[in-house]
Amino acid sequence: MTIPQELKQIDRWVIWRYEVSSKGKKATKVPYRAKGGRADKTNPEHWSTYDECVEACDRRGMTGVGICLGEDLIGIDLDDCLDVKGNLKEWARPVVCQLNSYTEVSPSGYGLKCIAFGSKPEGYNTIAKLGDGQVEVYANNSAYFTITGNVWDGQDRLSNLNIDDLCEDLLKKNQLAPAAAIPKNVPLSTKEGRCWDEVKLIKEQGNDGSKRLFACCCRCVEWDLNEQSTIAMIRRAEELLPFPRNYSDAQILSRASQAEDKVRRGIKLVGLELSSPLINKIAAMPSINGVARRLTGVIGDTVEWMQDTARIRHPEFAIAAALTAWGTILGRRVKDPNNTRTNIYSLMLGATSSGKDSYMKAAERLINTAEVEAGKTDKRQTLYGGNDIASRQAFLRHLEASLAKLWILDEADGLFSTMKNARNGHLARLPDDLKVVYSNANNPFWRGCCFADISRSIDVCCPHACLLAVSQPKTFFDCLSGSDTSGGLIGRFLIFSPMVQYRSRNLTMEQIPLPENVLNSATGWLRGWDQLRWAGDSTVEFSYDDLAKQRLDNFTDENIAIMSASDADDAAAIGKASEHAAKVALISAAANAGPYREAKISVDDVEFGKAVASYSSHLMQTSIRDNVSESRFERQAKKILSYGRQLGEASPRSMYKKFHLREREFEEIISVLREAGEVEDVYGNPTKDGRPGRRKLRFTNSSPVVPA
């Protein structure tokens, strides 16, 4: 741990320590002079040399040293840009890539600070909200940075840095007019209009309107409205449906601040065309919307038909439903030279009333209509397995009875929670069955279960199961554990989530029939049922174009390289990306070619598969890191530990009340931290009757080491 000599030679140093304000809400870093007394960051007489501050810090028991910015010294602060494992969050990567100067980890361990020589262009704000954190840019005497010497990623050299482009892309221009509520006659911006559409749907809850106010504030935070726009939005909602009591501007902003602990700021800006290119780059993940618009042939027509029949247009959901339905129709009928099959598991994640049900019904309608046209009316052999799996025995028996099976699982988090309950023995091993069936779709000798009674054994030639699961994002990932990710179950899913919330339409599916080419292709593939029923592995093989094969191989090599340099969570997210791309390419080629016609998998098919696999892997990686890798218990423990280190000592009662925890739950967290050596119990002087004094918690690692 080292501090650049160039920085040590600048005589603008102070010392600091954590202090809690009289309100007791948050510990702040208060600067002090090396010679004694509080320091004024703007007063050069209060600054000292680095050596003087280090000596004073040790002598007076301060927390650390810091340097005052100004003149040619600028600072960029990224708050909450590191996760609990110390990995850089996605939203911060484009910013950190531009910081080619001394960068270190902040005292909390969850942020980064960059110091450089340079200047900040005039007319820009200081703070920009990004992801679940924020970026702050300082270049005057009103700010100082705490220094730890904990260098980030080898960036230990103090350099000149031009931040003009960073400020232009990231920070907003200063508003000369004083902050005030937006007049009612002023048109709403794009994000304000989207936010207002959601606010209008919020109904009154409770007696005093506080729940509706909080819900409105959550929508404002999700759409990244500033304080001025938030107050104006709440006033609009109040005019539409008055609150039972009056709320002041200060109360509204207080509730908005609480909402930031509940929801992620700016999460619904993903996919919007914003004025800032850098924010677009940070917020957006690999998109398949453009791919959906360029799709042609049977798959393209299926995706377009599903969007036309849906209440809300979502290209992501349309691709998920189309691929899963066609993967079922083509089950055990096609393969590629690597013996890849078309069995896929898709997961559609969306909020309540986001229109997921339309795409579930569209997939079911496609299969049912094609089966009727093909004359396949035997319910035992139908491709549609229903919207629930009652037991693992039922799951395996359905696979035994038909060539392929599609289950459309609404609220899939309920099924996953049930599978993890030890009391539900009939579903206890279903996760293992789902993983094994997925991997054995090309195994002609697969045996699902082995019983003492041989007649009860289940033998399936190339078992083919497809899942179209639907859930709310947070609810689904909350029901998963680390074993579900590291064990590979979630990695077998293609995950789809809408980036843009389109407006709802009054439309019924029956108004738009299936496209003729889609119905003819699906019916033609299904009419080969009787010939393939017990014919073993008599499938149509689709070979690759030379260029298509090369691109798929390159994609596989890239994923292997990424996996070798990634942690377990990333490996779970991208481990099946190459196989997913091959499956999607095969489905696209077979559906577009027509029934039982040998054709090649083209470059367009492979590029479509790569786009879907990359999009899903990125979304899965983000979801696992945000929801699975860190449980609620771990999140609370991290908050308690961070806050406790700032205070040094605190009473248990004040701590669990601050974090709104029950005493028993709080003590369980403290017990874990005590075993890890992070906290210890200390007691005051005993009472007159011999009872021990008041108990306090002392956090053992409350002061960062000051580097020499």
Compute the distance between CA of residue 648 and CA of residue 695 in angstroms, rounded to an integer: 14
pLDDT for position 586: 93
Residue 182 has pLDDT above 50, yes or no: no
Mean pLDDT of the chain: 78
C-alpha 117/C-alpha 431 separation (Å) is: 56
In whole angstroms, what is the distance from residue 637 CA to residue 291 CA? Answer: 42
Q: Which whole-number Å values give the CA distances from 452 to 64, 286, 393, 433, 449, in the listed order?
A: 70, 51, 15, 19, 10
| pLDDT (mean) for 462-483 | 74
Q: Report the DSSP pairing between strands 458-460 and 144-147.
A: unpaired
User: Quick one: pLDDT at residue 708?
Assistant: 35
446 strand-pairing partners: 460
For residue 365, pLDDT over 80 is answered with yes
Q: Which amino acid is at 646?
A: Q
What's residue 274's pLDDT?
A: 35
Lowest-confidence segment of 251-255, 287-291, 692-696 by average pLDDT = 287-291
Tens of pLDDT, residue by residue over 633-644, are: 666 788 888 888
pLDDT at 329 over 80: yes
Q: Are 144 and 66 in contact (CB under 8 A)?
A: yes
Which residues face 681 on adjacent strands?
697
CA 177/CA 303 separation, integer angstroms: 48
If DSSP codes are grouped into helix, strand and coil, which group holds residue 335? strand
Look at residue 538 and tell me whether its pLDDT is greater than 70.
no
> What CA–CA distances, in Å, run from 181 to 186, 230, 244, 374, 652?
11, 8, 21, 63, 42
Angle between helices 356-373 and 315-329 (to 10 degrees): 30
Quote the pLDDT of residue 601. 92
Q: Radius of gyration of the chain from Cα atoms?
A: 30
Q: CA distances (Å), 707 to each of 66, 102, 149, 180, 699, in order?
A: 12, 15, 6, 46, 21
pLDDT in tens, 643-652: 888 888 889 9
Percent of the chain with pLDDT over 90: 11
pLDDT confidence tier of residue 589, bands split at 50, 70 and 90: very high
Q: How far is CA 706 from the centre of its chain?
A: 36
Looking at residue 703, its pLDDT comes to 45
The dihedral formed by the CA atoms of 283, 285, 288 and 291, expressed in degrees to the nearest 10: 90
The residues near 265 (Cβ < 8 Å, ≥ 6 apart) are 129, 131, 132, 221, 222, 224
Rounded distance between C-alpha atoms, residue 429 and residue 123, angstroms: 62
Residue 506 near residue 446 (C-beta atoms within 8 A): no
* 675 and 663 Cβ atoms separated by less than 8 Å: no
**Coil/strand/helix, residue 184:** coil
Q: Higher model confidence: residue 490 or residue 278?
A: 490
pLDDT in tens, 47-102: 999 999 999 988 888 889 999 988 789 999 998 898 888 888 888 888 888 888 89
Q: Is the pLDDT of residue 6 over 80?
A: yes
Facing residues of 113 across strands? 77, 104
CA distance 307 to 295: 13
Q: Which residue has the tokens 């028993």?
A: 664
Pure H helices in 173-288: 190-199, 210-222, 227-240, 249-259, 277-283
Question: 158-171 pLDDT, tens per residue?
Answer: 888 888 888 888 88
> How far apart (Å, rounded) are the C-alpha atoms in residues 442 and 338?
10
Residue 272 has pLDDT above 50, yes or no: no
pTM: 0.52
Reported as a pLDDT band with limits 50, 70 and 90, residue 629 is very low
Which is more confidently placed, 403 or 342?
Answer: 342
pLDDT digits (tens, 9 = 90+) for 592-615: 888 877 788 998 899 899 888 888
Average pLDDT over residues 271-283: 34
> So what's the pLDDT on residue 289?
61
Q: What's the DSSP call for residue 455?
A: G
Question: Tokens representing 456?
Answer: 């009860």
Where is 14: in which H helix or E strand?
strand 13-20
3-state secondary structure of 13: strand
Judge whether 383 and 329 are in contact, CB under 8 Å.
Answer: yes
d(CA 571, CA 485): 9
Using a 10 angstrom Cβ sphere, with 0-12 exposed, 13-18 middle and 19 or more buried, the burial of residue 189 is: middle
In this predicted structure, the answer to whether residue 105 has a pLDDT above a threshold of 80 is yes
